[in-house]
Structure 1
Amino acid sequence: MPAAPLIILHHFDQSPFSEKVRIVFGLKQVEWTSVLISRIMPRPDLMPLTGGYRRTPVMQIGADIYCDTQVIIRELERRVPEPTLFPDRSEGLAWASAMWTDRSFFQNTVNLVFGSLADKVPQEFIADREQLRGARFDVAAMTSAIPQMRDQFRAHVHWIETQLGSGRAWITGDKPGLCDVNAYMNIWYVRANLADALEMLAEFGHVRAWEARLRAIGHSSRSEMSPADALEIAARAVPQTAELTDPGDPNGRRPGDRVEIMPDDYGKVKVSGKIVALSPQHIAIRRHDPRAGEVVVHFPRAGFLVIPALV
């Protein structure tokens, strides 16, 4: 029997989006390899793999590169279907919940955390995030908005508390799933960064117990690897993605079309290549880099723009 493929996560420990994937590793008891990257650019051994995509985390399996937690978690569910992330048949709702947790809830949480940290935020971090966002990372404005951000955070957490208030242990039922993973990210981020986090959560007994259960799941078995070694693995490997056509693609895209892909909100760096596979939730493009060789880079469809490339 062939050995299981090496699952590599390019991440940094403070990343809330990476924590989502690490918890999925824990739920599924997946052995994984950690490649620690800088919190800010440059990332010279990662950019050849992604083609310029710079958000965190990125998962690598050989010469297949998965960008964004949506497509990373989808691939982990495909490869390791048990235990499922959808124990209560909540798959559609669970995927959609990320549009809440990763956008409005996360933006509220980021403003609360960095407004509270204020002058502790390094200037080089601010400059990097301004480049990532394409807008000013205004810590002073975040600080002045703390009362409003506390109101908003409380409202988001109250939704979770209400859902857990019927006596269920997990958001969608008796077993943990993707809805829990998505919502947990922001609670984890506040707990990791704010000294008064427990005070903020004091009125939410169900949420505090639920958070403790998720934290206890852990991250499964983790080993370490250097970014240079991960890049070398990709350079020696051959992408394993099979060609896949989406007959219902509303724009008539098909394998072989040259496109550019980028997020629709921030980190709008275009990644160019030829379509290999596409579906309503996934698109993969083939590209070549002098250092990484031939790679296939995978993106979700929701939250990403697919633009015809000029030949």
Structure 2
Amino acid sequence: MAANARSIILHQYDISPFSEKVRVAFGIKGLEWFACDEPVIMPKPELVALTGGYRKIPVMQIGADIYCDTQIILRELERRFPSPTLFPGADKGLGWGFAMWADRVFFQAAVAIIFGGGTPIADDAFIKDREKLTGRPFDIEGMKAAAPMMAEQFRAQLDWLEGQLADGRTFLLGTEPGLADASAFYNLAFVRWASPGGVKLIEAFPGVLAWEKRVAGLGHGTRKEVSREEALDIAKAATSTEEAKADPGEPNGLKPGDSVTIMADDYGRDPIPGELVSSSAQHVAIRRSDPRVGEVVVHFPRAGFLILKS
């Protein structure tokens, strides 16, 4: 079956660690989805046509609705496909907090030991691309110097996972897998793809190893493929399902129809302008148009993003 306006399309590439987080969520939920492979480095003309300038991976597309950042992707998957949930038990807030730790603290420790260990991923083109993405030097020599210390940090966080699993639980928050598992797991997957030294650290923790195998066994749902051109055609033919909605608790007075600019607060701060459609404590959606895809609505999380009234 070909992809259509109701299909989940994940703009990704296979060695993208954050894409792995979403792929594990597909496995937990047993979803069918379409992989739309994007380049690892710029230029990414098809992705930029959809997002208005956001270039980080992954991006999820459902028709003319475009979801940037794993936080909003997983929020939307949970809304559309609530069972099986990504938040088993009564720890929904803890799951989101766990994910933020994994995305920032745990991930940065993984990055340092991967690139400090001389991974072949880091060729000249990759380094130049990441320098533009972060707005600062991608200091391989500095990472090499820091790698022994960052190995200590990575090991310390692996030990936290080991402690969480010490009572024999199946997954990090209990008997069922969820967001916490997908978030921690992708960092281990990234290290396994690119850092033999990091793998040795992982394999020193038997509880983590057993849990890692259980998460890997969840799979990635049912994967199909779609080309970038096909994905753009789907967006152009579709209409967003997002309805205009004001947030009565909006702290800065934003309302539908306002011209705003959105950007990440850490790296990849490409400003994305558009017209506000809806907002809440956890999301913001803007309408924008592009000659290739027509009118689309682009969705972002609130945590980790800045919204400026134009």
TM category, shorter: over 0.9
| Aligned match of 2:228 | 227
The 1:6–1:143 alpha-carbon spacing in structure 2 relative to 1, beyond 3 Å, is same
Q: Distance in 2 between matches of 1:87 and 1:217?
A: 15
Give the aligned CA root-mean-square deviation in angstroms: 1.3
- How high is the TM-score relative to the length of structure 2? 0.96
- For residues 74-99 of structure 1, the C-alpha deviation after alignment (integer angstroms, 9 at most, x for no partner) is 00011111101111121111112222
Q: Distance in 1 between matches of 2:273 and 2:70?
A: 20
Deviation at 1:192, TM superposition (A): 1.5
Percent of pairs with identical residues: 52
Q: Say yes or no: does 1:266 pair with 2:267.
A: yes
Deviation at 1:119, TM superposition (A): 6.5
Deviation at 1:191, TM superposition (A): 1.3
5 Å-filtered alignment, 1:176-187, equals 176-187=177-188
| Aligned match of 1:136 | 137
The unaligned stretches of length 5 or more in structure 2 are none
Deviation at 1:4, TM superposition (A): 8.4
| Aligned match of 2:110 | 109
- How high is the TM-score relative to the length of structure 1? 0.96
| Aligned match of 2:14 | 13
Task: Decide which moves more: 63-72 or 140-149.
Answer: 140-149
| Aligned match of 1:306 | 307
- For residues 15-46 of structure 1, the C-alpha deviation after alignment (integer angstroms, 9 at most, x for no partner) is 00000000011110110001000000001111
Partner-residue secondary structure (3-state), 2:35: strand
Q: Distance in 2 between matches of 1:67 and 1:174?
A: 30
Q: Distance in 1 between matches of 2:82 and 2:157?
A: 30
Task: Decide which moves more: 293-302 or 220-229.
Answer: 220-229
Q: Distance in 2 between matches of 1:17 and 1:120?
A: 16
Conserved? CA contact 2:119–2:194, under 8 Å: no
The 1:223–1:120 alpha-carbon spacing in structure 2 relative to 1, beyond 3 Å, is closer
Q: Distance in 1 between matches of 2:202 and 2:97?
A: 25
Deviation at 1:197, TM superposition (A): 3.9
| Aligned match of 1:33 | 34
Q: Distance in 2 between matches of 1:182 and 1:130?
A: 25
Q: Distance in 2 between matches of 1:231 and 1:119?
A: 32
| Aligned match of 1:193 | 194
Q: Distance in 2 between matches of 1:203 and 1:118?
A: 21
5 Å-filtered alignment, 1:197-208, equals 197-208=198-209
Partner-residue secondary structure (3-state), 1:275: strand
| Aligned match of 2:284 | 283
Q: Say yes or no: does 1:245 pair with 2:252.
A: no
Q: Distance in 1 between matches of 2:51 and 2:225?
A: 20
| Aligned match of 1:149 | 150
The unaligned stretches of length 5 or more in structure 1 are none
Deviation at 1:202, TM superposition (A): 2.8
Deviation at 1:195, TM superposition (A): 2.3
Amino acid at match of 1:107: Q
Task: Decide which moves more: 263-272 or 103-112.
Answer: 103-112
Conserved? CA contact 1:118–1:140, under 8 Å: no
Partner-residue secondary structure (3-state), 1:66: strand
Displacement over 3 Å in runs of 4+:
none
| Aligned match of 2:79 | 78
Partner-residue secondary structure (3-state), 1:95: helix
Aligned residues: 307
Deviation at 1:183, TM superposition (A): 1.1
The 1:221–1:118 alpha-carbon spacing in structure 2 relative to 1, beyond 3 Å, is closer
Deviation at 1:118, TM superposition (A): 5.1
Q: Distance in 2 between matches of 1:240 and 1:120?
A: 39
Deviation at 1:284, TM superposition (A): 0.2
Q: Distance in 1 between matches of 2:29 and 2:249?
A: 32
| Aligned match of 1:69 | 70
Q: Distance in 1 between matches of 2:203 and 2:17?
A: 22
